[in-house]
Structure 1
């Protein structure tokens, strides 16, 4: 099941991530952004929180629909939706590294560009380490947004358990999800296990997927409540969502940010006027290319910065990189992402007899 307004919300969230990385190319955030409502436009980490909640909602709807199949068909479809495009993006980033051949750290740029991107030469062992999707930060430098894809894929593959729990009693599932995430956060922060595959790093975000599933389970009631509210009340809810959303998440995935993100997701499918606006052609296009844009914008941005940093001002570099990234995302979607989606659907059809994982 696809909900157009939520696809568009994912596209807008991806654009916010791009804007946040453009901002990180500069040493400081301008005061007119940092201390104004415009800071919502660079809340990249908060946008990732929206991604996780949206995934929980959409996966729950898929599993509880009439088309819900076996676990292996679900897992194959999800794996092929995420992993092959990710692999291609890593290889593109490695190829760009060799084409650009960065000489070293760039001058007069933000720390993010030098410390978290392209600081390892992408020899085969480094590329393979990236493709293994570990939790080692150094092995995420070719495309540092991949940290969220590691979490996304892992939690997606265990999501049927979450869906069954929410279907049985969403209140108990919400409490258990929060408890598990809190425990994972405490263990990771207190003991900092230096593992290649760290379940606590992943587990601390589990509650966001549960939140998404709970929103899906109660979607009809949420829509009824929204329809009964006055325009002023809905405007107040949007403000109540955007204010905590604009705050950078800290600890435990950012509880205030999670609340704001959950409200944004709920309002995006429950507020009729906003839902209609989100199903316009441009937001829907952004939603269509959102995963491709998320995957390839960092390599393009870093490559442009290394090539042009001493030639033109950074403001022009990031603007040019953003335009290239949007165009390249459409190409990437058509040539990589869409074929991967279609292949996933084909494999899902072939794997095991269809049987509902989650009862209706």
Structure 2
């Protein structure tokens, strides 16, 4: 039996992408929720089992690389404007609304707006590092916005590479890998630590030199594999590969093999996971529960809103004289974060962004059945 066979024509379902989005975002929510157990006897358990959820950020980066490459296959410079417009409308309006909500609810309202130039509010709205010399830029006005700095950098580099037409993939790799090579740490024993300050000017060169940007290339490679005109012929082999990658991830989490972001940390496993699923999904049907598809659909809203929701809940609970330092609060707060994220998704991602696009407002089921839904 041939191990590989040609891929039949037709659109493959990409529900597994939405499932990964759901897993990634839920992991980030739980890794932040673990701080509710700080200074309690449960802290060591929470720190051991929930910290790995931060790797959801790396998974998001890899997924982003996959989606951007997959949805633009065969496109060139004529589509660059539309690509950038879709990305801007997808990312910036929900971020801007959340930044303003964060200012009013967590940072003194109008007072925060008046001192925005000094506290990083405006830099966050411009998706620039609050302090370019403290990578990976956790110190943003809206804490979770640090990842969008890397996302937007990738979008810009990706759009620039699209202008190169037939050489776009070569140019993309030259720009991303070349940017990382600007980081002096890379030449010091190939140090791939994303926390190292490259000390470059202007500030965005530090983003270009951060090894985290390499994780987007993992997703690009997965998209190439997914679009390749062949597949694994054996379904049994596919299920074995899936079992292998899931088991490996479970073991690596158990022993805490990796403890931080980066292409040689959580990003390496995220890349392997997406590459494996991209390959085997061409042969076997990966059934994803509807609730997981729903969670994947609201994942961006959940990512943006969960820290604000968590802190507001802590304020309310403490005002009532209750305790937020328990596993019960971890799970209850996570459930409330999901509800708040769905409301935000409907009001901002769907209605507001729909109005900005000048299109009729309607509910879009993000099931991965077509390319536009993924963008």
Query: Which TM-score tier does this pair reach, normalised by the shorter chain?
Result: 0.7 to 0.9
Match of 1:286 in 2: 295
1:313 is aligned to: 323
Cα pair 1:166 1:217 within 8 Å, conserved: no
CA separation in 2, counterparts of 1:130 and 1:69? 30
Asked whether 1:123 is paired with 2:113, we answer yes
Is the aligned partner of 1:200 residue 2:206?
yes
Determine if the alignment matches structure 1 residue 298 to structure 2 residue 307: yes
Query: What secondary structure is seen at the aligned counterpart in 2 of 1:156?
Result: helix
- Partner secondary structure for residue 309 of structure 1: helix
Report the TM-score when normalising by structure 2: 0.71
TM-score (norm 1): 0.74
C-alpha separation between the residues in 2 aligned to 1:269 and 1:9?
Answer: 12
C-alpha distance in structure 2 between counterparts of 1:56 and 1:209, whole Å: 4
Of 42, 51, 54, which aligns to 1:45?
Answer: 54
Task: Using the TM superposition, give the Cα deviation of residue 61 of structure 1 relative to its aligned residue in structure 2, in angstroms.
Answer: 1.3
Aligned partner of 2:218 in structure 1 is 211
| Match status 1:61 vs 2:70 | yes
Q: Does 1:26 align with 2:37?
A: yes
User: Which residues of structure 1 form unaligned runs of 5+?
Assistant: 102-119, 348-360
Q: Matched residues in 2 for 1:67 and 1:8: separation?
A: 29
Match of 2:243 among 235, 243, 247: 235
CA distance in 2, matches of 1:306, 1:135: 28
The residue that corresponds to 2:80 in the other structure is: 71
> Could you tell me how far 1:326 is from its partner in structure 2?
0.7
With a CA cutoff of 8 Å and minimum separation of 6, indicate the structure with the bigger relative contact order: 1
The alignment status of 1:133 with 2:159, answered yes or no, reads no
- Larger proportion of helix: 1
CA distance in 2, matches of 1:333, 1:27: 30
User: Residue 72 of structure 1: CA displacement?
Assistant: 1.3
Mapped partners of 2:240, 2:274: distance in 1:
19
1:185 & 1:250 partners in 2: Cα distance?
A: 20
Which stretches in structure 2 are left out of the alignment for 5+ residues?
Answer: 1-10, 132-136, 187-194, 360-375
Question: What is the CA–CA distance in structure 1 between the aligned matches of 2:25 and 2:206, rounded to whole Å?
Answer: 25
**Structure 2 residue corresponding to 1:9, chosen from 5, 10, 20:** 20
Pairs aligned (count): 321
Aligned partner of residue 294 in structure 2, secondary structure: helix
Aligned to 1:84: 93
